[in-house]
Amino acid sequence: MLTQAIDFREECESLYAAFARCNDDWFDQATQFKEWTTNDVLVHLHIWNRAADWSLSDPERFDSFMTEVREAASRGEHHQVVAYQLLGAARGRALLEQWHDFYLDMTPRFEAADPEQRLKWAGPDMSASMSITARQMETWSHGQEIFDLLGEQRVEADRIKNIVVLGVMTFGWTFANRKIERPAVKPHLRLVAPSGDIWTWNEPSDTERIDGTAVDFARVVTQVRNVADTDLQRSGESAKQWMAIAQCFAGSPVAPPVPGSRFKGPGTGGVHS
């Protein structure tokens, strides 16, 4: 059994419960992420869940989708344009239920998959276990702008370790993607899990290390917070350099949000009483 698929489903369920508490007109409100609306977030999560499922179950359909995305890009159009075209007219709660029904439908297929099976993606091929971990990471990271809009603190769980591991694994890629020489030393990580457990990575060091919570580390590597807006303690040049540009998701280099630009809001999302 591919246990990361269960973590993906539980991450989706946590976000679905937040969506379900909201008024109908809330789905058109802008978030702090590029002023995407909640509908935009849902469309993004839903179409790339479908793409991941196609890469597992229908590679030809995946290739067709990626052709549409690339053709749109050649016209200067964002992939969201393709997503809205493919997903039809559903918005708000109808779109929410489409996303909900589909992630429940796709999870058993990934549970049963060979974890090492190679799957096509927009970038390099990846394993099935990494593919569904990436879907959990996207759900968690885009979920942050939803919880921020709601003015709520998300209840975290130790399944966030999958996202932390993804952040640790992409240390070298973060620099290579920017054509920057990778630091010779990987900082020692000592992170406190939501459960209170201590998670560590890399060789112990007093001079090159990062200390803090797993949640704050995940926020930095997924770029939902600037490191200055977290309580992460960074010692050493490698640690400081990494946390300033960390990026665990694929694609061209993206600058982290500027300090103070992403935060838990006052709760203007319109939550049902």
Are residues 145 and 170 located together in one domain of the fold? no
In a domain, 110, yes or no: yes
User: Which residue reads 């759900």 in tokens?
Assistant: 139
Report which of 166, 57, 218 is spatially closest to residue 227, judged by C-alpha positions: 218
For residues 108-121, give the mean pLDDT: 97
| Helix or strand holding residue 163 (H, E) | helix 161-169
pLDDT in the model for residue 270: 59
Mean pLDDT, residues 76-95: 89
Give CA–CA dist 240/236, Å, rounded.
6
pLDDT of residue 273: 43
> Based on the structure, what is the number of domains in the chain?
2
Claim to verify: residue 128 and residue 181 sit in the same structural domain: no
- pLDDT-derived band at 24 (thresholds 50, 70, 90) equals confident
Across 1-29, average pLDDT:
93
Query: 37 with 167, same domain?
Result: no
* Pair (19, 136) in one structural domain: yes
CA distances to 92, 169, 189, 191, 204 from 198, rounded to whole Å, are 40, 18, 10, 6, 14
Q: Is residue 265 part of a domain?
A: no
pLDDT value, residue 69: 92
Reference 26, options 272, 273, 270; nearest CA is 270
Range of the domain at 240: 162-245
What is the chain's alpha carbon radius of gyration, rounded to the nearest angstrom?
19
CATH number at residue 125: 1.20.120.450
On the CB side of 182, how many CA atoms lie within 13 Å of its CA? 13
Are 92 and 142 members of one domain?
yes
Whole-angstrom CA distances from 71 to 67, 86, 87, 119, 256 are: 6, 14, 18, 22, 28
Q: 83 and 45 share a domain?
A: yes
Residue written as token pair 């996303």 = 99
Residues 141 and 177 in one domain: no
Last residue of a domain, one of 155, 173, 199: 155
